[in-house]
Amino acid sequence: MLITYPKLSGILVFTVYLLSSFSCASPDQIDTESDVTNPDLLNVVTTVSPITSIVENIGGTYINLVGIVPEGVNSHTYEPPPSVAKIISNANLIILNGLFLEEPFLIMAEENAKPTTKIIQLGNETISSEEWVFDFSFPESDGHPNPHLWTDPILALKYADIVRKELVKLDPENAEYFNSNFSIFQQRIEDLDYRISNSISTIPPKNRKLLTYHDSFPFFASRYGMQIIGAVQPSNFSEPSAREVARLIDQVIETGVPAIFGSEVFPSPVMKQIAKESNVEFIDQLRDDDLPGSSGDPQHSYLGLMESNITIIVPALGGRIDSMVGFDTSLVFEGKSRTKYPE
């Protein structure tokens, strides 16, 4: 049981949290070298891997963190198995991207979470509905905006700050640890943002255009002055019609871009056809929710995902990536992470 007495505007407010599986642990009680679940720590559940990585960086070794959506699956249509209900029922905090990305998981979370457990949708708290983006694969007629906010590192930093605040609220004794991890993560994001801007500035202006298969880069593009000339994947995740393919081929030829980009998660023969008929390079390795490498590798992180995309996009469009050399994609904290990424 954790009892806190936060002072709000001079009024003493009594809040009693009855959290059966969590009692406050002080830093010296925590075995940072252990990878077993520690019953004295907060149980946090997340969905897609970039979100898991952001939460992992802030919570460090002071949270038990479980990611749910396996890498390499279509996160937009993912249905969690019934076994996930038990993980949800043990959670002290549940963190989603939101903006309709993980609807089946959200329903399961609302049905199975403890009444005291907060469910946070980071995207919904980061931008207002006036800032929602509707586009190729996320048309306004469907009502579901493009959810990939994290491809803009500055929005990812806002995600991290929301996570920091929630962890501090739930575990105020360890506030200094969470704040310190956030501060290092903020420096890494600012460094990343500077390096990406530098790299993109080396792309000839006429080539600063993206045609991707999966429609995950509008927030990235608007941050770095790139233009999205199209996304190929229709909103129902099928393949585009022959007429749409012909239109895209015309568009690629007209814009004169040297390369178009596919996705690790969605291999598409249609993209190959568009590239061949418009005589441009096709690179099918962009990532939006599939982290590079394997769990435990330094590049298996949100920062590694962004680095990987830049090192693919920039040279293919005629730019240089010298600015990315030496960028640190590893976790910001010391000790062995307790985060479980699903296989």
Residues near Zn ion (CB under 5 A)? 216, 288
Identify which of residues 171 and 288 has a Cβ nearer to Zn ion in the complex: 288
Identify which of residues 73 and 85 has a Cβ nearer to Zn ion in the complex: 73
Strands, E assignment, 71-135: 93-96, 118-121
Question: In whole angstroms, how close is the CB of 135 to Zn ion at the nearest point?
Answer: 13
Identify which of residues 42 and 226 has a Cβ nearer to Zn ion in the complex: 226
Spatial CB neighbours of 255, under 8 Å, sequence gap ≥ 6: 209, 229
Identify which of residues 117 and 263 has a Cβ nearer to Zn ion in the complex: 263
Spatial CB neighbours of 132, under 8 Å, sequence gap ≥ 6: 99, 145, 146
Q: Which two tokens stand for residue 238?
A: 């099928």
Cα 259 from Cα 285, distance rounded (Å): 12
Question: In whole angstroms, how close is the CB of 104 to Zn ion at the nearest point?
Answer: 15
Question: In whole angstroms, how close is the CB of 146 to Zn ion at the nearest point?
Answer: 9
Question: In whole angstroms, how close is the CB of 106 to Zn ion at the nearest point?
Answer: 16
* Count of Cβ atoms closer than 10 Å to residue 80 Cβ: 19
Question: In whole angstroms, how close is the CB of 137 to Zn ion at the nearest point?
Answer: 9
Cα 213 from Cα 300, distance rounded (Å): 23
Identify which of residues 145 and 319 has a Cβ nearer to Zn ion in the complex: 145
Q: Pairing mode, if any, of strands 93-96 and 42-46?
A: parallel
- Bridge partners (DSSP) listed for residue 2: 17
Spatial CB neighbours of 55, under 8 Å, sequence gap ≥ 6: 44, 46, 63, 65, 95, 163
Burial of 13 (0-12, 13-18, 19+ CB in 10 A): exposed
Identify which of residues 152 and 288 has a Cβ nearer to Zn ion in the complex: 288
Q: Pairing mode, if any, of strands 42-46 and 15-17?
A: unpaired
Phi first, then psi: give them for residue 120, nearest 5 degrees: -110, 135
Identify which of residues 264 and 288 has a Cβ nearer to Zn ion in the complex: 288
Phi first, then psi: give them for residue 163, nearest 5 degrees: -60, -45
DSSP assignment letter at 17: E
Question: In whole angstroms, how close is the CB of 147 to Zn ion at the nearest point?
Answer: 7
Identify which of residues 266 and 333 has a Cβ nearer to Zn ion in the complex: 266
Euclidean distance between the first and final Cα of the chain, in Å? Answer: 34
Question: In whole angstroms, how close is the CB of 218 to Zn ion at the nearest point?
Answer: 12
Question: In whole angstroms, how close is the CB of 178 to Zn ion at the nearest point?
Answer: 28
